[in-house]
Copies of this chain bind each other. A is one copy, B any other.
Amino acid sequence: MARYVFDFSEGDASQRGLLGGKGANLAEMTNLGLPVPPGFTITTDACRAYLDTGQQPAELVEEVDKHLAALEERMGRKLGQPDHPLLVSVRSGAKFSMPGMMETVLNIGLNDESVEGLAAISDNPRFAWDSYRRLLSMFGSTVLDVDRSRFDQALDDLKTSASVETDVELTAEDLRQLVATYEQIIVEETGSEFPQQPREQLDLAVLAVFSSWNTERAKLYRRQERIPDDLGTAVNICSMVFGNLGDDSGTGVCFTRDPATGHRGVYGDYLVNAQGEDVVAGIRNTLPLTALGETDPTSYEELLSIMKTLEAHYEDLCDIEFTVERGKLWMLQTRVGKRTAAAAFRVAVQLVDEGVIDLDEALRRVTGAQLAQLMFPQFDKDGGKRELIATGMAASPGAAVGKAAFDSATAVEWAANGDAVILVRRETNPDDLSGMIAATGVLTSRGGKTSHAAVVARGMGRTCVVGVEALRVDLKQREIRTPDGAHVEEGDLLSIDGSTGEVFAGAVPVTASAVVEALLESPGTAGNGSHASHASRADGESNENLEAEDKGDHAELIEAVQRIMRHADAVTRMHVRANADTPQDAQRARKFGARGIGLCRTEHMFLGSRRKIVERVILARSDEQRDSALQELLPLQRDDFLGILEAMDGLPVVVRLLDPPLHEFLPDLTELSVKVAVADALGKPDEQAEALLKEVQRHHEQNPMLGMRGVRLGLTVPGLFQLQVRAIAEAAAELKRRGLDPRPEIMVPLVGDVKEFAIVKEQSLSTLADVAAELGTALRFPIGTMIELPRAAMTAHEIADEAEFFSFGTNDMTQTTWGFSRDDVEAAFFPHYIESGIFAVSPFETLDVAGVGRIVAVAAWEGKETRGDLVVGVCGEHGGDPASIHFFESILLDYVSCSPFRVPVARLEAGRAKLEAADHTSF
C-alpha cells in the first residue's frame, strides 16, 4: 500500500518525484539539523490518486490525522487551539518548480476564536487580525473560488474610508472590521460560512492545492516548460513562523553565489518586519542581506553558516528563503538556484576548482542553450533611449544594427563598401542568399519561424526577425512605414533583436560576444594550462576578493567555457560536423570545431548568374543542347568544390547532389501567367514570355515537395548528377596535385529504393574512374545516401548493401512521416497545436522521438546490421538541437551535422549526451 504522508524528518532530497522539490529539500534541511519549522509532506501519489478518482484516498485522511497529532504534540498546541493556536501553511510543491502557478494558503488554523488567542499570545492584535484577513482572502479565493477582486475591492474601500494609503497604516480595529466584511463576502458568494473548523480548513486547502495542478495556467506553463502532465503536486503542511512580529523579525531570500554573474560571495535581500509574500509583492523596498548583520548579527552569522552548509551539501549554488521570528532564524525553503548562462559556466568551473565536483559534473550543469545565449551579441541594456517601431517573431537570435537595404544587390554592394546592412524583404527566397550572406541581420514582414529567411539565417548565424506584419515594405518608394507612423527609408539605420523580435529605428548600442571570438580562436586547444592556478581557491574565500575578481570576469568566463568545451570533446562519442555550402562557412565551421562537413548543399550553386545556364539545361530540346549547357556549368561547379574541399583539407566533406525540383530555377507560374495575359490584353503579346510560360506550365507541380526532386531528377535528367560528380572528382584531383588531402563523399538525396541508389552509384563510380584515368590519379570516394523518406528507412537493410554511409535528413523525414510541409503548415496551425497540447514543441525544432525517431532508429540499426562499418549521421536541422542530439546519442549515431554557428552547442551537447547515456547504462 502506498504511503501518502512523510514527516519532514522522514524524507530526503532524492525524493523529488514523491515529495516534490520543496518537500524533498525541506526534508533534506531537517535531516541536516537546520532550523526548519516542523511539518509534513503529502505525496504526489496522493495528488494523482485524488485527480484520478475525484476522491481523497481513505488512507490519506488517516495518515494526516496521525501526522497532525504528532506535529501538535511536538509544538505543544493544537491546530487552531483557541488560546494558543498552532497555525500551518499549506503549500504546493511539484517535482519541477512551477513558480506562481499553483496555490498556497497561509495561517490555516485561525478562526473567530483563535484569532483572539493569537492576539493575546503575540501581544499584537493587529498582527493577529491581519493574519486572519489574509487567511480569509487566500482561502476564499483559492479554496472557495470567490473572485479575488471582491476582497481587493473591500480592502481598497476600507483604506479610502480610513483615509490611509497603505495596508500597514490600517489599525487592528480596521482589520477586525475587514475580517467581518470578508466573512460576509464569502457567505454572499458561496452561500455558506467560512469554515471555522481548523481541520476542515486544512483538508479543503490540501484538496484545493491538488486541484490547482490542473488549472489552465498551470497546464499552459507545463506545456511551455515541457513538464509532463501526469506528475501531480505534493503538498507541504508546515507550522507557521512569522517575520512580521516586529523589528526583531523579518524575512529574506539569499543565494550562495551571485546568480547573475557567478561571483563568489553571498547575495540576497532582507525585509524587516515582513512576511514572505511582502517580499514577492514588492510592497516595500528590500535591503541588502548585510542589513540583517547589522540588526541581528547572531541570526546573520547563523545564516552564513547555513549557506555554507547547504552549498557544501548540494554541491551547487543554493537559493534560500528564510524568516527571522523574534530573533530566531527559520529556514523555509532551499533549492539549487537558477542562474544566468554566464553564471552557469563560471560556477560550474569554480566548483571544479574548489574540488567540489569533477569536470563531468560541470559539463552536466551547463546546457547548449546557455552556450548559445553567450554566443549572440546583445543590445546593451543601458544603451539609452530606443525607438521601438514594431515587433515580429524572434527567428534567429542576436542583435544586429545596419543600414536598411531592400534588395540583395544593394545589400551586397553596401556590404562591399564596409557598411553593416540589414536586409529588409517581404520574404526571402534562394536568390536572396547573397544578400543574406552580406547582411548582418535579416528582417521580413512575412513568414514564420521556419520560413526560408528564418531557416537560412539560423543556419548562417545571422540575426533574424520575421513576420513583422506591421511593417509596410514599399519597394517603389524604397521605404518602410508602420501604422503608428514610423518611417524608415532605405539606407536609414535599423536595429533588430533576434531574441525578442523587436525592431528599432536608429542604432542601438550592441555588446559583441567575446565567447564567440574565443571559440573561433581556439576551438579545442587553447587555455589548457591556466585553470590550474585556480585550483588553490577553496570555498573559504572571503568577500574581499570580489572586487579584484570583477576585472577578471571576462577572462574567467571565457576560460570556463573553454575548459568545459574541451571536456565535452574529450568525453564525446559522436562527432560534430557542419552543414556548409561555401568556403567561408566551411572555414568558420572548422574554426568552431567541426570535424568535417556533413552536408554541403549544391542548389545555391545553380542560382545567380548561373540561372540562365540552368534554364537552358531545363529547356533543352535535345541531348546536345543539354550537354552543352551542363558543360558550361562544369568549371564553375569545380571551382565551388575546390574552395570547400580546400577549407576542409583532411576532413570529410559530404556533398549532396542536386535536390530541389528543377522548376524552382524557372520563373513563378502565376507571375509569368499574369505577365503574358496582361501583355496580351494590351495588344502587345510577348512571344518569348509565352514560350517560357509553356515550359513553366509543363514543369509545374501541385506539390513540389513530393515531386521531381533528388534522385528522381538525377535519374531522369541525363548527365546532371554526373556533371556534379565530375566536378567533385576534378576538384579533388587538383587539390591532390597541390599536395592536399581532399576527402569528398558523394551523397544521393531522396532515395526511396536501393535500386535508385545503385544506378547512381554505378554511374558515379564510372565517372570517378573516367576522371581518374584522364588525370592519372586514384579517385575513389565513399558514395552514400540521405535517409529522409520512410520508404528508405523501412528498407535500410537493403540500401546499406549498396550505400557506404547514411545521413538522416530529418527535415524531410519529419515532413513525410507527419505528412505536412514546414512551409505550408507552421503558420497555419502549429500555434494552435501547441496551445492545445498536441505538440509540446514543433517537430521541426526538436525531433519527434515517438514517430520520426522510431523510424530513424530502425534504419540506423538495420543499416549497421547489414554493413558493420556503415557511418551513420544526421544532417537535418535537428543536428543542432540539444534534445535531439541526446536522442541521436541514445541510438548511437556516428555524428550530427549542424550549421557552423551551432557547432559549439552541438559539441557541448554531444558530450553531455554521452555522459547521460553512460549514467543510464552504468549500474
A contacts, CB < 8 Å to B: 669-670, 673-674, 677-678, 681-682, 701-708, 712, 715-716, 750, 752-753, 755-756, 759, 788-791, 794-795, 798, 812, 815-821, 823-825, 828-829, 832-833, 836-838, 848, 850-852, 854-855
**What is the chain B residue whose CB lies nearest that of A832?**
B716
**Is A789 within 8 A of B812, CB to CB?**
no
**Is B669 within 8 A of A706, CB to CB?**
no
Q: Which residues of B contact A794 (CB under 8 A)?
A: 817, 850-851, 854-855
Q: Which residues of B contact A670 (CB under 8 A)?
A: 669-670, 673
Of B669, B716, B838, which contacts A828 at CB under 8 A? B716
Please, could you name 16 A-B residue pairs with CB atoms under 8 Å apart, sorted by A?
A674-B674, A678-B681, A681-B682, A701-B821, A703-B824, A706-B820, A706-B825, A707-B820, A707-B825, A708-B824, A708-B828, A750-B819, A755-B838, A789-B817, A789-B818, A794-B854
**Is B812 within 8 A of A791, CB to CB?**
no
Of B674, B706, B715, B837, which contacts A703 at CB under 8 A? B706
- Alpha-carbon distance between A424 and B821 when the two chains are bound, in angstroms: 35
**Is A855 within 8 A of B753, CB to CB?**
no
**Is A832 within 8 A of B715, CB to CB?**
yes
Most chain-B CB neighbours within 10 Å: which of A708, A812, A818?
A818
- Alpha-carbon distance between A702 and B824 when the two chains are bound, in angstroms: 6
- Alpha-carbon distance between A702 and B447 when the two chains are bound, in angstroms: 13
Most chain-B CB neighbours within 10 Å: which of A708, A788, A790, A817?
A790
**What is the chain B residue whose CB lies nearest that of A710?**
B819
**Is A825 within 8 A of B712, CB to CB?**
yes
**Is A818 within 8 A of B708, CB to CB?**
no
Min CB gap A892→B, angstroms: 20
Given contact pairs A674-B674, A678-B677, A795 touches B850 in the complex (Cβ within 8 A): yes
Min CB gap A222→B, angstroms: 14
Of B673, B701, B755, B816, which contacts A790 at CB under 8 A? B816
- Alpha-carbon distance between A750 and B833 when the two chains are bound, in angstroms: 15
Min CB gap A588→B, angstroms: 31
- Alpha-carbon distance between A678 and B854 when the two chains are bound, in angstroms: 52
**Is B812 within 8 A of A819, CB to CB?**
yes
Q: Which residues of B contact A825 (CB under 8 A)?
A: 706-708, 712
**Is A755 within 8 A of B837, CB to CB?**
yes
- Alpha-carbon distance between A144 and B599 when the two chains are bound, in angstroms: 51
Min CB gap A230→B, angstroms: 14
Q: Which residues of B contact A819 (CB under 8 A)?
A: 705-706, 750, 752, 788-791, 812, 815-816
Q: Which residues of B contact A706 (CB under 8 A)?
A: 703, 705-706, 815, 819-821, 824-825
**Is B828 within 8 A of A753, CB to CB?**
no
Chain A at the B interface: mostly helix, strand, loop or mixed? helix
Min CB gap A808→B, angstroms: 14
Q: Which residues of B contact A681 (CB under 8 A)?
A: 678, 681-682
Q: Which residues of B contact A752 (CB under 8 A)?
A: 818-820, 851
**What is the chain B residue whose CB lies nearest that of A675?**
B677
Min CB gap A497→B, angstroms: 28
Min CB gap A757→B, angstroms: 10
Q: Which residues of B contact A791 (CB under 8 A)?
A: 817-819, 848, 851-852
- Alpha-carbon distance between A795 and B848 when the two chains are bound, in angstroms: 11
Most chain-B CB neighbours within 10 Å: which of A704, A759, A823, A828?
A828
Q: Which residues of B contact A828 (CB under 8 A)?
A: 707-708, 712, 716
Of B716, B824, B829, B850, which contacts A829 at CB under 8 A? B716
Min CB gap A316→B, angstroms: 36
- Alpha-carbon distance between A139 and B674 when the two chains are bound, in angstroms: 66
- Alpha-carbon distance between A707 and B821 when the two chains are bound, in angstroms: 6
**Is B824 within 8 A of A712, CB to CB?**
no
Of B708, B815, B829, which contacts A708 at CB under 8 A? B829
Q: Which residues of B contact A716 (CB under 8 A)?
A: 828-829, 832
**Is B817 within 8 A of A715, CB to CB?**
no
Q: Which residues of B contact A790 (CB under 8 A)?
A: 790, 816-817, 819, 851, 855
Q: Which residues of B contact A855 (CB under 8 A)?
A: 790, 794
Extra A-B contacts (20), CB below 8 Å, given A712-B829, A798-B850, A815-B819? A674-B674, A681-B682, A703-B703, A703-B821, A703-B823, A705-B819, A706-B825, A707-B820, A707-B821, A712-B828, A752-B818, A753-B851, A755-B836, A759-B838, A790-B817, A790-B851, A791-B851, A794-B850, A812-B819, A816-B819
Given contact pairs A791-B817, A791-B818, A829-B712, A836 touches B759 in the complex (Cβ within 8 A): yes
Min CB gap A615→B, angstroms: 19
Of B677, B817, B836, which contacts A816 at CB under 8 A? B817
